[in-house]
Each structure stands twice: as C-alpha cells, then as structure tokens.
Structure 1
C-alpha cells in the first residue's frame, strides 16, 4: 500500500539523498581491524524481542467444531492447552484437576488468524499526517529502514484486530512507494509498552520490495529514475549487484580477518536476503512482472518468499508452485488502478487447486478485522467456479500458509501439540457474517472474552476518551 499523504514531504528528503552521493554510510559501531584469523562481524539482531507471554490458565474447550489450521476438522471435538502450548486435541479428552473447562457446543475453534500484510502501528489510528510513518519516500532504495522503528504500540487497531478479527500474529511492512522499502517485522498481537515487547521471538525479518506502478509513479513524477517498468528492474538489478559485492567483502573479512569493510545499513539487509536469513515480501500485481522478478531472483541468488496483492497470480499458479513462492491476495479488491484491473474472484481457489501456496491478507486497518469473511467470499467464489474447497481446507489461507511464509510455522499456525496456544473460539461458523470471536488466547493467555468487560483490550491512547474499550 502507498499512502499519498506522506509524499507531500518527500521532496525534503531528496536533497539529503542527493547530498549522500549514494556512498555507503559507515556506522559508528564498525568492528575494529582484526588480526590473523576470523574477523568479528556486526550484530545482525540489535533490537531483539523482549516479548513475554501473559500468564494463562490450563484450559480445555469441549464439544466444539475444530479447524486445526492444516486442513483437518474434528466435529464435537476438544482441545487442551497448558503453559502456553497446545497439549492435545481429539474427541475424548478429559479435564484434570485445576483445568478450566469451557463448553463449546455450537461454536468453532481455530488457530489464531495470521495477517501477512499489515501497516498497523506505522500507519496507526487516528490516520493523521503526524502518524504517517510507513513510506520513506526519499529514494527508490531504502532497504536500510526498519518498519519496527515506526511501530506505535498504542495503535487502537491492534486491539480491534484481536477482538473483531481473531488476529493473533501479523507482519508489519513498510509501504510500497520504493523498490526496496525496508525491513518488515512480525509481532504477536498483544498489548506492550514497546515494539520489542510485541516482537515475535526469533521470527525472520522480511524485506519489502515493490514492482509496477507505485515506484515508477512516485519517482518518475519527480523527474528521476525509475520512471518506467524497465527502470524498476534496472535499479533492482544494479542494487542486487552492489549487494553481492558487499556480501563478498564481508564474507571474506569474517572468514579471514583483516581490515573490516565499511558498513552500509541498506546492504546489511540485502546481504541478509542473500544469506537466506531475510525473506523477500514483494508487492506485485501483474503476472508478467512476477515472472520477471522470479527470474531476477535466480540471477542474483535469492528467493521471493511471497508476492503480495498478486491480482494476476492465477495466471502463473504453476510458476509460483515451481518456484516455491506464495501469493498473498485479497478476495475481491480490484480495479483501483490499471495493474489491479485483471482480477478474478476465483484467484485463491485456483492457486489452491494448482498446489501453490496461497493466503488472504488485509493491507487495511478495517479489512484485518474480517479476514475470516474475506476467506468466506473467496471460497464461495471458488465453489461457484467449480472448485470444491472445504471449510477446513480454506482455513489454511488464514493460518498455516501465512505462518510458512513468515518462517514461524514450526511454532504457530495450527493446533498441533507443542505449538503456541494461539486460539480463537468463535460464537458460530466463522465464515458467517454474523459470527465474531467469543474468546481469544495468545500463547494460552486469555486476552479477550466477549462476556467479560475486563477482558477487552484498551490502548493507553484511548484511556479517558469517548468510546474507551468499545472494541465491538
């Protein structure tokens, strides 16, 4: 997503960018020259997570319809979680002493929803210029910026996503004004005083990239490159070539020692991509451009983890599958610009049937509150188009598939024993417009209970204001 409000001040940054001359910036924390042997590398995680799960109680939910998040379903089933982890699920579970038992008759239990594309916190509510912190639209290459350094933990949108949408994990990305927009961050949807207190422990970083109309419009409109799609790819390739050389110098230093190379924060991020530590999350709409980007990734030795928006992904489902690249899409947003024109509502269903990795995403502070309904629309369109997709299979688009694309599927995204107890109890079928979360647990801690006013998240920003705690 590109927010035009930020672009009003973009010209102020252009002179500063030009003054830099494109040279690498040397950080004050550069390592000292090393003697014989290995050189000391730089800190690759200088802002580590300080997240600690809230306390929870051992809980058994019984007589409930379960979607396990990986395509499985249990009718009249039960799920037990304790110490923040899923312990067991099945039909005949019994409660031990000290376990809270919840009767789920007529209700549904699922893994928490995972949104792979959000701007909560860096475009928070209220949506005013002072809060517009998602696009560093001063250069087409800003891989040095990190979305987490803009995240405002008091954004009321976090609580609304939890309570109205059952969202327990989300990736916060920079905007799409730039070809290289910067690093993304994965967070647990919990109240915290700092971004690091929300940060998903050990989740890989992402690199937000963009192709197509946005970068060429933003910078072509300023009389500088890129102003065309061929300009987009040219700047991309030149930047990756620089990154390869930067990686070569640092690899040599860390292996053999000697004089340390100069630090360049943008190149640090791209080196992380080339080393397989940082995942490329690429804004792209058209099928032909996605195919070119996948070829470019092969040229420079990296992988595109997921294309976001991917309006035309259905045209290249086979290529996406062959490259192991996911598509994060909307159910029916289209037509708001030319590259978003050629959409079909069966996009998700076609990708699923072709065996490609597919998922829903929001890119919107309101849409994140009803991703379950977006999946319902996409599934209905698929069924109408002749693609039989079960309710439980469609839930993969909300849980395990985005977890895989974020590199956290070994810890969350499904109700498997040993995984985080990120769980939502819905008061009816979650594909109904009349259904909403009744209870939401994150790491086994009950953070929302529709029947308990004390269990409704309120950000510090909302305290004492009209509507405080009104998250319904």
Structure 2
C-alpha cells in the first residue's frame, strides 16, 4: 500500500497473549518434507538468476497425530462434509471423512457443533513491512526512489516481531503473501510466509513458494512520480512498463547467449523482470479500473508473461468473463470503494460476479492489518450482498475464496489451501459457521502442530515487541 492509502486505513495494535511453549517447541522442531524442499535453492533461469539467494529455514513444529472428530468440514476445494473427521500426522493431512481411526498416541479434539476449514491464505498483506502498531520508522513497504524498483525484495523489510502476525493468526490466517506497496510501476518481489513465531523472516518463508512480482497501475505511480520527473499520466505508466520489459528481454537474451564475462554484470532489476517473463516469478497487479486491467492483460501478452491476479480490482465485475477466460484471479475487497476516483465505480457484488464467470477465480484479500483479522467476516459480507441480488453462495463455495483460490494464484496449491490427503495440515477449528458474525477461530494448526488456542493462554503467541507492556497489550481477540 502506498503512503497516501495508508491514511485511509485504521491501524490498531493487535497482539495476543504470550506463548513460551511455542518458542520452546520451535526450538526443537524437526524438518519435514516441506523443510527439505526449502533447503536447496532453485537452479536458476535464462535470466542468470542463481535461484533464491536467501533460502528459507522454516522447520515445522513436531507434534503427535491429531484427530478432529464429528465436525462440519469445509474442505476448501468446494465440498462440505457434515459430522466428519480430519486426521493429521507428521505435518500432513492424512484423511478427511467419517469414522476415521487414529493412532493410540493421537491428540483427540471433539469437533461436534463446530466447523473445520483449511487455514486462511491472504494473498495481499503488508504485515511486517507496515507493522501494526506502525510508526514512520517502521514504514518499509515502498521504495519510492524510482518508478521501477524490481530489484527490491519485500522479505528484506519484513519485521517478524510485528504483533499483527499474531492477531492474524487468531483470525485463522496460516499463510500470507507480503507484498511491497503500490507507489511504483513495479514495486519489487513479494514473499510468501507461514504465519509462525520466528526471529527471522527466513524461518517464516513458505517452503518452495515462488516469489510474486508486485506491479501497480493507475493513480498511485503518477501521483508519486508526477513531480519527480514522471510518469505523470497513465500513458506514461504504460510506457514505463514497456521500457522496463524491453530492457529485461534484452538482458535475458544476452544472459542466455553469453558465457562468463560476455554475459555482463548481473542486474537485479532486470533479473526479476526476466524471471517474471520466464514464469518463475508470479505477477500480481494492483489495478482498479476495468480498462486498465485490459491494458495490463495486453501488456502481458506483448511481453509473454501471465498475470496471476489483479488486486483490489474494484471494476473486475465489468470484465469477469475476460478474467475467467484468461485464467486470471481477482483478489478483491468485500465492499471497499470510493476512497479515490479510480475506486469510485465499485459494487458490493463484485466478488460474487467474478466467481460466477466461467473459469472465474475469486479471492477475498485484506491489504489491511485490521481486515486480515476477520477475512471470514469480509467474505460473509459478500455472501449477504450477493444474496440480496439473488445470488446464493454456499459456505463451501465461499471458502475457496479464502483458501484454494489464493493458494493457486500464489503457486502453492499443491501444498496448502484445501484439506486433501498429502497437503500441509494447516487447519482451523471454528466455534460455528465461519461466516457467522459470531464466528471465532478456537484452534489453529500449522503443519499439524497447534499454534493457537483461544482457551489456552500458553497457545496465544505474543510478539517480543509487546512483552512487558501490560495486560492491555495481550489477550485473545
């Protein structure tokens, strides 16, 4: 989010009670399959990138098997099972169904009267780079030194002590993509994190997740750079994208053909853009207006890259068929609109219309340290507004907007986003229908280990930053 838009967001401190038990458990974690994947950087591409120069060190917390029994299960892939069980073991989902048997040493959780879902995946967050509580000294999300700052990586700004991570965990968020802000035409690389307590961002990095590339169109870049030598117009924005990708294509070709010194010096900006064209980095674009989204799809066709998702997309409903046909997701708000001119033409049925289009991929995202704490309720607002318009959306369908669809757009759907055998055991137990106004996440597991329990202070993690700040600083929200 850019500095101007920060003024439109209310950032309230949100920290939860301390959890020494989690810290101790993290210290004796064992590395599972996911951790093994993270240990080896990728081999590199034609752009000359050596792979991930800052590899993740995430290790899952060891846990006994867990059996949740008798719950209403929304599997995240569009199915609902009543009176069903979920079995987790060694960090993975083993099975979902009725009458499951568990090992003798399993932790048994009574799910009767409660609902189970995959962990929520937020595709658009600025936690860690714009922490909550936030100060000017913590504002690390926008590198406003050039219209194209593809060289920067959001992970190098992430502050793991941000109390907002734990507030999001209490809302059922287990995975989140941290993006740079939207001041620039190209803001840089985003990073996908597991929402676990850690002292380094490397220890939070989602194993094997590709980087995302944050781009922005419309008012923000021209507002920020209009007095700094441009771009100052939307046509200047598009010229800026084209120039950057032309340079990146030339760089990629020279790197592919050259050897040693002939290939020239690495260029971090062009390396990132070339990797996006190669498909190794997924492209996420902050864009509000329908006409501009179409222009960006044309840009992608010109330079051979694919748009993973348009973010915010207040006018996405106008081009829902095109988005579905092109396989582009809409990462959208439930009802934010009108806070600037390009966000003026919004409707409350936006998400539902994108979802209904053939091939539609709808996502409810936060872009807010407050909204990320209640994405389930944001989704409930979409369902209610759609119902008033004659569109009935079942809870099992709505759940895909918070789990499998964002996971697909982030390139991690083979690992998380749904309760399917073999996937990471990122699971939330709710006190009832998660799309009720009274819904609360009671328990959260990440890779099969309990990391949050609303009824157990020892499993209500609290940032080091909040320690010693009195009872008002903690507690379950």
TM-score (norm 1): 0.91
Pick the aligned partner of 1:399 from 399, 403, 421: 403
Tell me which residue corresponds to 2:252: 247
Matched, 1:90 2:94: no
Root-mean-square deviation (CA), in Å? 1.7
Pick the aligned partner of 1:211 from 217, 229, 239: 217
Matched, 1:302 2:309: no
Structure 2: gaps of 5 or more residues: 8-44
Kindly indicate whether the alpha-carbon contact (under 8 Å) linking 2:153 and 2:189 is maintained by their aligned counterparts in 1.
yes
Matched, 1:282 2:288: no
Kindly indicate whether the alpha-carbon contact (under 8 Å) linking 1:65 and 1:108 is maintained by their aligned counterparts in 2.
yes
Tell me which residue corresponds to 1:71: 78
CA distance in 2, matches of 1:228, 1:395: 39
Mark the structure with the bigger radius of gyration: 1
Q: Trace 1:171-210 onto structure 2 (pairs within 5 A).
A: 171-210=177-216
Pick the aligned partner of 2:415 from 402, 411, 416: 411
Tell me which residue corresponds to 1:260: 263
Matched, 1:129 2:158: no
TM-score (norm 2): 0.90
Structure 1: gaps of 5 or more residues: 8-37
Pick the aligned partner of 2:233 from 228, 232, 246: 228
Kindly indicate whether the alpha-carbon contact (under 8 Å) linking 1:71 and 1:392 is maintained by their aligned counterparts in 2.
yes
Q: How many residue pairs end up in the alignment?
A: 438
Pick the aligned partner of 2:315 from 277, 288, 312: 312
The SS at the match of 1:439 is: strand
Report the Cα offset of residue 161 of structure 1: 0.2
Kindly indicate whether the alpha-carbon contact (under 8 Å) linking 2:47 and 2:252 is maintained by their aligned counterparts in 1.
no
Residues 266/51 of structure 1: CA separation in 2 closer, same or farther (3 Å cut): same
Structure 1 residue ranges, 4+ long, deviating more than 4 angstroms after superposition: 38-42
Report the Cα offset of residue 223 of structure 1: 4.4
Report the Cα offset of residue 4 of structure 1: 3.7
Residues 223/59 of structure 1: CA separation in 2 closer, same or farther (3 Å cut): closer
Tell me which residue corresponds to 2:336: 333
1:351-373 deviations in Å (ceiling 9; x for gaps): 11113111000000000000000
1:246-294 deviations in Å (ceiling 9; x for gaps): 11011112xx666231211100100110111001110000000000100
Report the Cα offset of residue 238 of structure 1: 0.8
CA distance in 1, matches of 2:163, 2:47: 42
CA distance in 2, matches of 1:41, 1:424: 41
Tell me which residue corresponds to 1:429: 433
Report the Cα offset of residue 438 of structure 1: 0.5
Matched, 1:323 2:326: yes
1:272-330 deviations in Å (ceiling 9; x for gaps): 10111001110000000000100011011111110000000000011111211111000
The SS at the match of 1:327 is: strand
CA distance in 1, matches of 2:410, 2:329: 11
The SS at the match of 2:401 is: helix
The SS at the match of 2:263 is: coil
Report the Cα offset of residue 3 of structure 1: 1.7
Kindly indicate whether the alpha-carbon contact (under 8 Å) linking 2:313 and 2:331 is maintained by their aligned counterparts in 1.
yes
